[in-house]
Amino acid sequence: MASLDPQLPARFADLKLEIASSYGPDFESCITRAWGEIIEELDKATTKIADEGTEIIPQVSLSELDSLTPSQLDNIKKRGCVVIKDVVPDTEAAGWKTELQQFAKDNPTCPGFPPTDKQFFYIYWSKPQVEARSHPGVLKASAWLNGLYHIKGSKQLQGVDLKTPLTYADRYRIRKPGGLWEAHPPHVDGGSIERWEDETFRTCFEAILRGDWRTHDPYDLDGRIKARSSMYGRPNQASIFRTYQGWLAMRQPETGPHQGTIRFFPDVLLSNAYMILRPFFRPKATPASDDPLAAENWEYDLSSPDFPGIYALRDGKGYTGPRPNTETHPHFRLEKTMTAVPNVKPGDMVFWHCDLVHDVEREHEGIHDSAVMYIPAVPTTVQNLEYLTRQRDTFERGVTPPDFPLADPEATYIGVGRPEHIQGDLGRHAMGYSVSAAA
Ligand SMILES: [Fe+2]
């Protein structure tokens, strides 16, 4: 974290005061009570998560999405993550990996990390990626995940269509065994200090800031779709709204825990409640008891500008995080609770809610590579359509999509995807082509 600074500018202490005053004179008492309840609940929840391990991550197959019981749905929403199996036939997904390996051979100068032994590719428009994003199974999973969100009450959100998914171009990795990946410690994407600073984004967490954290609804769309998740223009920050981030497994026969896979803190409501209130509390200088995690050893404090887990980028390009760790967020007990996803086969997909804490296993102790394409679930919204138009333009020109750091153009690479590689009418629509225009 050499380039990250946990000390934030003094003006962020004013932001805390502003938030406190906007909730009225009872703010301190309400969130102090909530803080105590959240700590108590985390004690129970983290024990359960650590005990159950990988089994706690919900798994369903694509074919059963429309017939899940209410309790299965509740569990998927509570955990904030899900493995959807058999989204794409095994052979098709494994074939994409073979093609991507060939792509790297055919285009030895294509950008990736580490540069001398590329495993994370800064490639967006290869033919397999274009095919995968528009695959009917992928789009069905995406639409279903979008549908887990809702609009409260009788409100109409103009331009929102949860049934019609859109495509977001991202990259892929083919991670080799051995070596250490330090780049992905526990974190949340989709907005950093903006979660508190942007007034619209903050409304997503209003119940928590009222102290009424149990009624927080991570699936309420109101607020999300107009939230400014990127106020400072930092690179690698999605400016669209993704209901779920996700990836598609390609490795034959399967990839699982200890093989460089993704891990989650699988309780999205509780982690949101804890992270949003964390900046308003600090450990007491003189603890009342031996247990540093006990509520009695924490106190309400608005004097510091710091938001633990949020870091200033030293190049002045804004802020990153949340990146909770065992010191900033000890009640998460991250050393025991970051839970690897179970074994996945080629064509299975893993999705996680846009607020969920996740990381990538530092070590890959397996003997095969672990290969995934990043493909999130993206609903139709006015802002997302605006991005889609710009993204389509970069696709046609074979250049880096708008949200990502500029890399060499891909247009001249062997094996680059073209509009004719997009599958089906739904796929063409998801890429920003109207059906009639594509015909
Ligand atoms: Fe991430």
pLDDT digits 0-9 by tens, 117-158: 999 999 999 999 999 999 999 999 999 999 999 987 666 778
How far, in whole angstroms, is CA 335 from its chain's centroid? 20
Asked if 196 and 307 touch (Cβ cutoff 8 Å), the reply is yes
Question: Which residues neighbour ligand 1 (ion) by CB within 5 Å?
Answer: 189
The two structure tokens encoding residue 142: 């995406």
Q: How confident is the model at residue 42 (pLDDT cuts 50, 70, 90)?
A: very high
For the cut 90, the answer to whether the pLDDT of residue 363 exceeds it is: no
Q: How confident is the model at residue 294 (pLDDT cuts 50, 70, 90)?
A: very high
Taking residues 262-279, what's their average pLDDT? 98
User: How much distance in Å is there from the Cα of 309 to the middle of ligand 1?
Assistant: 14
Question: 407 or 437: which carries more pLDDT confidence?
Answer: 407
User: How much distance in Å is there from the Cα of 25 to the middle of ligand 1?
Assistant: 37
User: How much distance in Å is there from the Cα of 436 to the middle of ligand 1?
Assistant: 36
Q: Which residues contact 338 (CB under 8 A, 6 or more apart)?
A: 186, 263, 264, 265, 357, 359
User: How much distance in Å is there from the Cα of 373 to the middle of ligand 1?
Assistant: 13
User: What is the spatial distance between Cα 413 and Cα 61, in angstroms, rounded to a whole number?
Assistant: 36
Question: Residue 154's pLDDT is what?
Answer: 61
User: Where do the H-state alpha helices sit in 116-231?
Assistant: 127-133, 136-146, 194-197, 199-203, 206-209
User: How much distance in Å is there from the Cα of 106 to the middle of ligand 1?
Assistant: 29
User: How much distance in Å is there from the Cα of 372 to the middle of ligand 1?
Assistant: 14
Q: How confident is the model at residue 314 (pLDDT cuts 50, 70, 90)?
A: confident
Amino acid at residue number 295: A
User: How much distance in Å is there from the Cα of 360 to the middle of ligand 1?
Assistant: 9
User: How much distance in Å is there from the Cα of 12 to the middle of ligand 1?
Assistant: 25
Distance of CA 44 to CAs 36, 131, 170, 323, Å? 13, 44, 37, 22
User: How much distance in Å is there from the Cα of 170 to the middle of ligand 1?
Assistant: 12
User: How much distance in Å is there from the Cα of 47 to the middle of ligand 1?
Assistant: 24
User: How much distance in Å is there from the Cα of 285 to the middle of ligand 1?
Assistant: 34
User: How much distance in Å is there from the Cα of 169 to the middle of ligand 1?
Assistant: 15
Taking residues 258-266, what's their average pLDDT? 94
User: What is the spatial distance between Cα 420 and Cα 336, in angstroms, rounded to a whole number?
Assistant: 47
Taking residues 326-346, what's their average pLDDT? 97
User: How much distance in Å is there from the Cα of 181 to the middle of ligand 1?
Assistant: 13
User: How much distance in Å is there from the Cα of 72 to the middle of ligand 1?
Assistant: 25
Rounded to the nearest integer, the mean pLDDT of the chain is: 93
User: How much distance in Å is there from the Cα of 242 to the middle of ligand 1?
Assistant: 12
Rg (CA), the chain: 22
pLDDT one-digit tens code per residue, 195-253: 999 999 999 999 999 999 999 999 999 999 889 888 887 766 778 899 999 999 999 88
Distance of CA 364 to CAs 173, 280, 368, Å? 13, 37, 9
User: How much distance in Å is there from the Cα of 185 to the middle of ligand 1?
Assistant: 9
User: How much distance in Å is there from the Cα of 266 to the middle of ligand 1?
Assistant: 14
User: What is the spatial distance between Cα 97 and Cα 103, in angstroms, rounded to a whole number?
Assistant: 10
User: How much distance in Å is there from the Cα of 374 to the middle of ligand 1?
Assistant: 10
User: How much distance in Å is there from the Cα of 227 to the middle of ligand 1?
Assistant: 19
User: How much distance in Å is there from the Cα of 359 to the middle of ligand 1?
Assistant: 7
User: How much distance in Å is there from the Cα of 188 to the middle of ligand 1?
Assistant: 6
> Could you give the domains of the chain?
4-438 (2.60.120.330)
Distance of CA 190 to CAs 49, 91, 122, 369, Å? 24, 33, 19, 28
Taking residues 411-436, what's their average pLDDT? 92
For the cut 60, the answer to whether the pLDDT of residue 439 exceeds it is: no
User: How much distance in Å is there from the Cα of 262 to the middle of ligand 1?
Assistant: 9
- Percentage of the chain beyond pLDDT 70 is 97
Taking residues 67-83, what's their average pLDDT? 98
User: What is the spatial distance between Cα 185 and Cα 188, in angstroms, rounded to a whole number?
Assistant: 10
Q: For residue 370, list its beta bridge partners.
A: 175
